[in-house]
Amino acid sequence: MSRPLASADIFVAIADPTRRALLDKLRLGEQPVKELAEPFAMSLPAISQHLQILCEADLVQMRKSGRQRLYSLNPEPLKQISDWIRDYEQFWQDKLGALGNYLEENPCSDT
């Protein structure tokens, strides 16, 4: 049985702040790699490596137009993260609710 690439893991893909910034830029629409690389102090090959990881995680799609490679956001896989976080939101709401109930039932006295 083959193991999936670590870079195909959506959590690994979004762990890097540069990749999160690239996803934010792609929310504005499809862009070529040169445009995506402008705000970063790194080489085009380094940006391309980040984009490759995002493509492997299916967060970004690439298409060729002539000699250019154009990248666009595919937000659908982010639902996996949203679903995962939602479970923890419910956990913390339950815990905070229980704490609130405890504090109401056991008020602190200022003596």
Structural tokens at position 16: 């890097």
> Which among 51, 16, 57 has a CA at the least distance from the CA of 35?
51
Identify the pLDDT of residue 111: 52
Query: pLDDT (tens digit, 9 = 90+) per residue, 33-83?
Result: 999 999 999 999 999 999 999 999 999 999 999 999 999 999 999 998 898
What CATH topology corresponds to 6-73? Arc Repressor Mutant, subunit A (1.10.10)
Q: Do residues 69 and 2 make contact, with C-beta atoms less than 8 angstroms apart? A: no
Identify the pLDDT of residue 8: 67
Residue boundaries of the structural domains of the chain: 6-73
Residues 83-105, mean pLDDT to the nearest whole number: 89
Structural tokens at position 32: 């070529």
Q: Return all residues near 13 (Cβ < 8 A) that are at least 6 apart.
A: 7, 19, 53, 54, 56, 57, 59
Distance CA 45, CA 58 (A): 20
